[in-house]
Structure 1
Amino acid sequence: MSLESRIINSLKTLLDPLSHQDIVTGGVLQGLQVTEWGNVSFILDINTQYMNEGIKLKEKAETLVSKIPGVKDVKVILTAQRKAPAPRSLKKEVPGIKHIVVLASGKGGVGKSTTAVNLACALHKMGLSVGILDCDVYGPSLPRLLGVNEKPTSDDGKIINPLEAYGLKCMSMGFMMDEKAPAIWRGPMVQSAVQQMLHQVKWGALDFLIVDLPPGTGDVQLTLAQSVLLSGAIIVSTPQDLALIDARKALEMFVKVDVPILGLVENMSFFLCPHCSGRSEIFEHGGVHRQALSLNLPLLAEIPLHMSIRETSEKGTPLVYSMPTSGEALLYGKLAKHVLSILYK
């Protein structure tokens, strides 16, 4: 058996951390060269998400090949140019919907739902057909934020007619439950509810479906990310480190399940006094911006902590419509334009 064949057979015992195939079959090993003097060189082309594992793989390959009789010198070059295979074949489109964009956060109480509603309204004001889906089964906010208290109807007992408010088609478990009643549901029930709200609602033709996710990285997030073709995720966080730690976890989850990250939003970025317009950075400022820079992701918006946002949210009159010329409403408009520029570039 030739030296090259022995080297290939030895390298077949090493596995690609991404595909779990051996590195020869999986295409990680490239450019193998063996000279008559026993000098060996080759490339390990690993995935960009597995750099740490790639370094360990390189060290194992060097050690393994150097022990083969006849090998005098080993040079291994590590490159990271292969893209992760996108296991999107199991993910389905929702008929009639061009883009599904999810808003996620690591922690609750960072203003994600308020951001989702005002983003949806801003997109609708730009002439787009928009729906909004509240997937927070345990703490739905959409009924309060849009001022909707009706129960959805069905023409055939199977397909649900979405409610409409401010030009948006909307659906939430909150429309079907008493506001004070807790949802005491296990994971499978939650997953079933999410699938029903996606596939058994008469959404019709939409340019955008904005999905307000619950905080964290639980059943709802995984159900959506693994079963539906998502155009991207927007991560919402406040600036302080405590919120950013969990926001980073939410972001990493979407990366692992092959959902594009459109960017980050810093909510409650600073406080504007309604009396003197003085600015105070209550939760610090710029934490999300720094995180975005470190991840090479766009900062989509910096939304202030302002009385008008809180008041219009509690009244069920989204700021984008009730105070369209306010500085805060204009920021939501810029957020919508930024999202469009990313998806339609």
Structure 2
Amino acid sequence: MMLRRSLLLAALARPALAQTRAWSPPTRMIIPYGAGNITDVVARVLLDVIGPRHGWRTAADNQPGAGGMMGANNLIRATPDGSVFGVVSAAALTILPHIQRPRFDPFPELQPITGLTISHSFLAVNAQVPVRTLDELVAYARSRPKDDPLNYPSPGAGTVPHINLVALSHALDFPLQHVPYRTSAAGNTDLLANRVQVTMDSFALTLQYMRDGRLTPIAFNGPQRHPLLPDVPTFAEAAPQVQLTNSWQGLFFPKATPAAITERAAAELRDTVTSHAFIERLPPGATPFALPPDELARQVASESARIGRLAAEINLTID
């Protein structure tokens, strides 16, 4: 609780605009998650590629904590001279501001640069669960005793896997029990052991188990069927009334960073994000999401509004 209060107060303490310097690439990238997290993996691929491509000599600075809010807060407080930028995830921008108490929304204090990547996910179940379609999953979940519901893991309350399964169970009116873990890997261990049964975690984490038969894919949260699993329908086919979220990240400067710096950085970053050298090194399921600043801002606003309505409707909060 004290941490969240400090985050809220710190937004008011952002330093005044520093003297604009001649262009030179940022020297530090804040990554608000620990090493090995998919956001960290993608961010490090970006730094590896943009160095030789555009001459950036930028150090990765992992600052995990508070579901990504710690790093976002420190980015807000950085001197806005273009020397520090950061990667911020969809969860920190569009989910946590609506369900954490006290509320803290980092987006008004950030300057969008570009989108980074987006990761689509599969709804899947442990292969011991006797379902193969979304309709069968709904019926099976409804048939179970109230004291023995289907469980699903997530890497923490307020993450994209958590909010997606909340939205799905709410829209289709069937029970699921959330079991938060410290990491996706820990949740997957219990998923494969059938201690929890349902998942919508990162495609990069579940693909191998769907392909070897330990997980049964039910539906894909992407714009079209995935070529690796073409028999699995999209949610648009299986449940067109359901609106879900995908995991994505954006790159941001502190709010008062001069426009000339933002524009130069955005051009070089979008060139890198759309390059073959970057794309070929991405983990499975991640694709470029090179939105320009205005489109990234619209993405945050529209997704945040939708999730805010859901959180209010079902009184979803975390302490």
- Same fold? TM cut 0.5: no
Q: Which of the pair has the greater relative contact order for Cα pairs under 8 Å at 6+ separation? A: 2
TM-score scaled by length of structure 1: 0.28
Highest CA radius of gyration, 1 or 2? 1
Greater share of residues in strand:
1
Q: Which has the higher helix share?
A: 2
